[in-house]
Amino acid sequence: MDSPAPLSSRPTPVRIMNSTVQCGFPSPAGDYDHKTLSITDLLIHQADATYFMRVRGPSMRDAGIDDGDYVVIDRSIEPRHGHIVLAVVDGEFTIKQLYQQQRHVKLLAANPAFHDIEFKDGQELSVWGVVTWTLKNHVHA
C-alpha cells in the first residue's frame, strides 16, 4: 500500500486573473488584470495535514474524479456523511463517498459498474482523510 506523498515546502506563485470567465456565451474581454497567487494558498488549509494522491481506476467517475487525476486530501477535516473520503478498507486505500446515517455506514461508488462497500460484522472502516480538490490534466500528448 503506497502512502500519499507529502507536500513540498516551497510554494510556487502563479498568476490569477482578477475576473471570471464565461462558460456559456463568450463575454467581451476586459482588461487582462492579474495578481499572483500561490497554488498552495488555494488548495491547502493546513499543510501538515494535507497530501496529494494520484487516482487509479474509474469508480468515482460520476463524481468528477477520473483515472489519472490527482486528489488533495485533508486529514484535519472531520469526515461527515456525503464527503468524498480516502478510506482504508482491508489494508488498501480507496476513494469513495461516505454514507453515514444513524448506525449504518458504507462507502458509495460513483460509477454504476462498481459496487458500494458495505461492512460486515468485525470489519472496520478507517477514514484516512477528506478529499477537498481534484486536479485534472486535460492536456494530452
Q: Block means of pLDDT (10 residues each) for the chain, length 141 residues?
A: 54 57 60 68 85 94 94 95 94 94 93 94 88 84 45
pLDDT of residue 82: 97
Which is catalytic among the residues 96, 106, 120, 126? 96
Q: Contact at 8 Å (CB) between 115 and 59?
A: no
Q: Are 60 and 108 in contact (CB under 8 A)?
A: no
Confidence at residue 44, expressed as pLDDT on a 0 to 100 scale: 84
Q: Is position 8 annotated as part of the catalytic site?
A: no
Domain boundaries along the sequence of the chain: 44-135
pTM of the model: 0.75
- Say what the pLDDT of residue 11 is: 58
CATH topology of domain 44-135: Umud Fragment, subunit A (2.10.109)
Task: For residue 134, count other CB atoms closer than 10 A to its CB.
Answer: 17
Q: Return the residue matching grid coordinates 459496487.
A: 115
Rounded CA separation 88/79 (Å)? 13
Strands of 92-101's sheet, edge to edge? 5-6, 50-54, 70-74, 126-135, 84-89, 92-101, 104-108, 117-118
Q: Of the residues 59, 76, 106, 136, which is catalytic?
A: 59
Cβ neighbors of 70 (< 8 A, separation 6 or more) are 52, 53, 54, 55, 134, 135
What DSSP designation does 18 have? S
Which residue bears the cell 469508480? 59
- Nearest to 135, CA basis, from 59, 66, 69: 69
What pLDDT shows up at residue 81? 97
Secondary structure (3-state) at 119? coil
Catalytic (active site) residue 59:
yes
